[in-house]
Amino acid sequence: MLNYQKIQEDFKKLIENDMLSHAYLFFGGDDEGYQEKFLFAQSLANFLENGIFEEPVVLLRETLIISPDVQRTIGIDSIRSLKYFLWQKATNSIRRVAIIKEAESLTPEAQNAALKIVEEPPESALIIFISNVEDNLFPALISRLQKIYFSRPNVNKIAPIKAGLAESIEKIIENNQIDDFLKSLINDLRKDSIKNSEQLKEALNRLVLMKQFNVNKKLQLKALISSISK
């Protein structure tokens, strides 16, 4: 698992001081970092059950993992199972933990059902929603979640942009990483969408151009960097 030492220490303090919330949203990063957020959630559950903050090597008895079905959705039946699980008394852990992978796959009905649980959670429940983007869920649901942002360690997309280093651009193009770079950049800008509104709009427009039209990606990337570096 990548080094999220600061987040780990923060959670340990919350648990030690009995200040752990009942519902969190782990977001940020990109598709490559999705598994990292999930492993961190599992490690947190392992700490609650066994006192060890690392990926569990055995099945956790007090943890339920919800994943999308073959149609890539999470329906209301899964949330009903989650509700039943959470209302059972924890016997081997500080909390009963439910981890919802790819939370953006929740159907509208499932999100409404999850909202009711989050509004009145069982005392020993902990629900972790995992998504790359903060606004993939209903605003009413998001407003009741404690949000934890996971950046991509050792990958600072903003710094090379502001520095305007041609070498960085060439490496991105040479390694055919333009699409990944743009997606990660958009996620970084969304950390402060108000402050970065103009840059975010520009990045989204460039991404649409690249996806829908046969444009020169190299020129689009250079134009984007030139625009948001001003």
pLDDT in tens, 144-155: 999 999 876 544
User: How big is the chain by its Cα radius of gyration, in Å?
Assistant: 20
pLDDT at 229: 57
> What letter does residue 105 receive in the DSSP assignment?
G
Q: How many helices (H) and strands (E) does the chain have?
A: 10, 5
Residue 164 predicted with pLDDT over 50: no
Residue 94 neighbours by CB under 8 Å, 6+ apart: 15, 20, 48, 49, 124
- 18, exposed or middle or buried, with CB in 10 Å at 0-12, 13-18, 19+? exposed
- When the pLDDT of each residue in the chain is averaged and rounded to a whole number, the result is 83
In DSSP terms, which residues pair with 130 in a beta bridge? 26
Per-residue pLDDT tens over the stretch 115-141: 999 999 999 999 999 998 888 899 999
What mean pLDDT do residues 101-108 have?
94
Residue 39 has pLDDT above 60, yes or no: yes
**Per-residue model confidence as pLDDT tens digits over 83-104:** 999 999 888 899 999 999 999 9
> Class of the 5-149 domain?
alpha beta
Q: Is 128 left (phi over 0), alpha (psi -120 to 50) or beta?
A: beta
Give how far Cα 52 sits from Cα of 43, 137, 149, 169, Å.
8, 31, 22, 42
pLDDT of the residue at 160: 47
Indicate the residue type of 168: S
- What's the pLDDT at 165? 40
Q: What share of the chain is helix, strand, coil (3-state, %, to 5)?
A: 55, 10, 35
Stretch (H or E) spanning 78: helix 76-86
> Residue 184 is encoded by which pair of tokens?
């990660």
Asked whether the predicted pLDDT for residue 51 surpasses 70, the reply is yes
pLDDT of amino acid 168 = 57
pLDDT at 190: 72
Average confidence (pLDDT) over 179-201: 71
pLDDT of residue 198: 74
Q: Please tell me the predicted confidence (pLDDT) of residue 169.
A: 58
Predicted pLDDT of residue 35: 83
- At which residue do the structure tokens 């651009």 appear? 169
pLDDT of residue 154: 47
The alpha carbon dihedral of 51, 55, 60, 64 has a sign of: positive
**The predicted structure's pLDDT at residue 57:** 85
Domains of the chain, residue spans? 5-149, 158-228
The three-state secondary structure class of 92 is coil
Whether pTM > 0.75 for this model: the answer is: no
> What is the rounded distance in angstroms from the CA atom of residue 221 to the CA atom of residue 22?
42
DSSP element (H, E) containing 186: helix 178-189
The token pair at 105 is 């796959």
pLDDT band (50, 70, 90) for residue 157: very low
What is the structure's pLDDT at 126? 97
Contact 221, 171 (CB under 8 A): no
Res 181: pLDDT: 75
Mean pLDDT, to the nearest integer, of 69-94?
93
Residue 222: which H helix or E strand, with range? helix 217-228
